[in-house]
Amino acid sequence: MDSLQLLLDGFATAATPINLVLALIGVTVGTAVGVLPGIGPAMTVALLLPITYGLEPTGAMIMLAGILYGGMYGGSTNSILLNTPGESSSVVTAIEGNLMAKSGRAAQALATAAIGSFVAGTIGTLLVVFTAPVMTKFAISMGAPEYFAVILLAFICVTAVLGASRIRGFAALMIGLAIGLIGIDSTSGQSRLSFGIPQLGDGIDVVVVAVGIFALGEALWVAAHLRRKAAEVIPVGQPFMGKRDFQRSWKPWLRGTALGFPFGAVPAGGAEIPTFLSYILEKRLTKHPEEFGRGAIEGVAGPEAANNASAAGTFVPMLSLGLPTNATAAVMLAALTSYGIQPGPLLLQRETALVWGLLASLFIANTLLVVLNLPLAPLWAKLLRIPRPYLYAGILFFAAMGAYAVNGSPFDLILLLGLGLIGFGMRRFGIPVLPLIVGVIMGPLIELQGRRALQLASGSPRGLLGGVEVATGQFSLSLLACTVYVIIAIVLVWPLIYPLIKRQLPTPHIDAPTRQPTKTGGDNT
């Protein structure tokens, strides 16, 4: 089959000594940074982006993929051993994982998380290998009106589906779009929002936006609220699993993967929903219900697999459509664009070596993770004790380094500071960050496609609904575009119908363990 041949070629690319070393470095550094408290996978990738600057694109993407997977594994180590979990997708792992750790079974928890990540990551990547080319063939048939509609759908999903507040989600999107508008408009040559400052003429680099909003914003926010007493770290030896633990884990691994992958592949699906669903599912199916709430291994195995499968799933829209479905994918796309590579449906065709090398290297990174990090877990656990002043000073240090290195100009540092303050404000006022990043990356794209669609229809608005045959001048309605608009309408109307359905479903909190685990609260005894 065509894909398999390409994948084998990809392995040839990924297995070159230098790319192997890059994957290794990526995985190791990613885990180390991911373990650190307060740093989620998105921030990990954003902060470590400058390391990849000197590399050529394939190597850089391989390293970033390693950083991503390493960052996720580090995050789960963190949530199991630390009293208070940080990243929202690790919250569920922490419920049972931390309880296992407290009852002396940290090693098993870490082992099931690691192996589950490996299983989910491998299966997930295989699914990517087979679905991405299919999606790409489909995507190539998309013209400007279809592309416009799909990006609009992504916008709506990312803002309207997010839990907290749709107004705030839309607000974040607007801020992101505004940032994306800064610079010279390529079609007309006019300069927008640059206020006469020449450095703004080229627009703001997405990396600066990502590092500013994620890293600097987070550091400033934590600085304002730094917990005076450090959270309690549970000591652990080498991770290992007994046979019974394994028998109890393997089905949750598979179920978690099945849940996580689709959610990762869909805009705004994310990792929170599948991890929660996996937890509920495992709790229903377990043969040891009395253990839930005291450290049940299924409660770690399933959600961890879901988390990783979701991460693999994000590669599908990212590689085939150029659409980021979570913050980390957004940062990786930003890295691609900074190399001058245009993400989108043609990526698979234009950059065959890069994409398949990347996919092959995902398998390698996955394997490296399990092989390396199982023995090294006690070492990573020590990182959890890092004094907080060093941690956040380090974040500021690397953020400044990364931002300066983009253009070699202190002006980017000023931008970074401004964006950091915006990030700070967003965290203070509960405004979600993902719509902003999506707006920055996809804003210019949707404008381009919209203008192109209208141009193809000679300025008529129905250009957004379909295409005009060049030869005959005949207008034909695009089925895809119309379908997408209908979906958008449904998504917008959904919150009005949802409360009616909600009464039928049980809420996660009712099924939560009987003994309240400490999550973020002051119960730090």
Partner 1 sequence: MSSALAAAGESRRPLAEFIPSAFLALLGIILLVDAGTLSNNRTGVDPLGPRPAPILVGAISLVLAIALAVAVYRGDRAEAESGEDVDLSSSMDLKTVLLLIGVFLANIVLIDLLGWVISGGLLFYGSALALGSRHLIRDLCIAAALSLSTFYGFAIGLGVNLPAGILQGIL
Instruction: Scan residues 375-394 and list those touching partner 1 (CB under 8 A).
Output: 387-390, 392-394
Task: Name the one range near partner 1 by CB under 8 A: 13-21, 266-274, 308-316, 447-455.
Answer: 447-455
Please answer whether residues 100 and 80 qualify as being in contact, where contact means their C-beta atoms are separated by less than 8 angstroms: yes
What CA–CA distances, in Å, run from 233 to 35, 67, 86, 358, 383? 12, 24, 14, 35, 10
Q: Which of 102, 294, 451, 462 binds partner 1 (CB under 8 A)?
A: 451
Please answer whether residues 144 and 449 qualify as being in contact, where contact means their C-beta atoms are separated by less than 8 angstroms: yes
Gap between the Cα atoms of 172 and 427, Å rounded: 11
Give the nearest distance from C-beta 220 to partner 1 in angstroms: 6
Q: Which is nearer to partner 1, 91 or 236 (CB)?
A: 91
Q: Which of 16, 38, 250, 338 binds partner 1 (CB under 8 A)?
A: 38
Torsion of CA 332, 333, 339, 344, to 10 degrees: 150
Gap between the Cα atoms of 377 and 112, Å rounded: 13
Tell whether the torsion through CA atoms of 349, 53, 74 and 263 is positive or negative.
negative
Q: Which is nearer to partner 1, 155 or 356 (CB)?
A: 155
Tell whether the torsion through CA atoms of 20, 22, 23 and 27 is positive or negative.
positive
Q: Which is nearer to partner 1, 350 or 519 (CB)?
A: 519
Q: Which is nearer to partner 1, 273 or 360 (CB)?
A: 273
145 binds partner 1 (CB under 8 A): no
Considering only residues 277 through 296, tell me which ones interact with partner 1, judged by CB under 8 A.
none
441 binds partner 1 (CB under 8 A): no
Gap between the Cα atoms of 457 and 478, Å rounded: 13
Count Cβ atoms within 10 A of the Cβ of residue 79 and give its class: 0-12 exposed, 13-18 middle, 19 or more buried: buried
Q: Which of 469, 470, 521, 525 binds partner 1 (CB under 8 A)?
A: 521
Give the nearest distance from C-beta 171 to partner 1 in angstroms: 5
Q: Which is nearer to partner 1, 243 or 385 (CB)?
A: 385
Q: Which residues pair with 184 in a beta bridge?
A: 191
Gap between the Cα atoms of 190 and 371, Å rounded: 54
Q: Which of 54, 340, 473, 506 binds partner 1 (CB under 8 A)?
A: 54
Q: Which is nearer to partner 1, 168 or 294 (CB)?
A: 168
DSSP 8-state code for residue 242? -
The residues, ordered by sequence, that sit 6+ positions from 402 with a Cβ below 8 Å of its Cβ are 46, 47, 49, 50, 207, 211
Task: Name the one range near partner 1 by CB under 8 A: 5-13, 316-324, 445-453, 473-481.
Answer: 445-453
475 binds partner 1 (CB under 8 A): no
427 binds partner 1 (CB under 8 A): yes
Smallest CA-to-CA distance from 361 within 44, 135, 136, 24 is with 24
Give the nearest distance from C-beta 274 to partner 1 in angstroms: 20
Neighbours of 47 (CB within 10 A): 26
Q: Which of 10, 34, 50, 344 binds partner 1 (CB under 8 A)?
A: 50
What CA–CA distances, in Å, run from 134 to 9, 127, 355, 358, 483? 18, 11, 14, 17, 19
Considering only residues 7 through 26, tell me which ones interact with partner 1, judged by CB under 8 A.
none
53 binds partner 1 (CB under 8 A): yes
516 binds partner 1 (CB under 8 A): no
405 binds partner 1 (CB under 8 A): yes
One-character DSSP codes across 7-25: HHHHHHHHTSHHHHHHHHH
413 binds partner 1 (CB under 8 A): yes
Give the nearest distance from C-beta 165 to partner 1 in angstroms: 6
Considering only residues 156 through 195, tell me which ones interact with partner 1, judged by CB under 8 A.
164-165, 167-168, 170-171, 174-175, 177-178, 181, 185, 187-188, 190, 192-193, 195
Gap between the Cα atoms of 143 and 457, Å rounded: 12
Considering only residues 305 through 364, tell me which ones interact with partner 1, judged by CB under 8 A.
none
CA atoms within 13 A on the CB side of 516: 8
Give the nearest distance from C-beta 235 to partner 1 in angstroms: 18
Question: How many residues in the shown chain lie near partner 1 by CB under 8 A?
Answer: 82
418 binds partner 1 (CB under 8 A): no
Gap between the Cα atoms of 357 and 20, Å rounded: 11
Q: Which is nearer to partner 1, 214 or 356 (CB)?
A: 214
Site string for partner 1, 206-235 (x = CB under 8 A): ------------xxxxxxxxxxx--x----
Q: Which of 63, 64, 82, 152 binds partner 1 (CB under 8 A)?
A: 82
List phi, psi (to 5°) of 14.
Answer: -70, -25
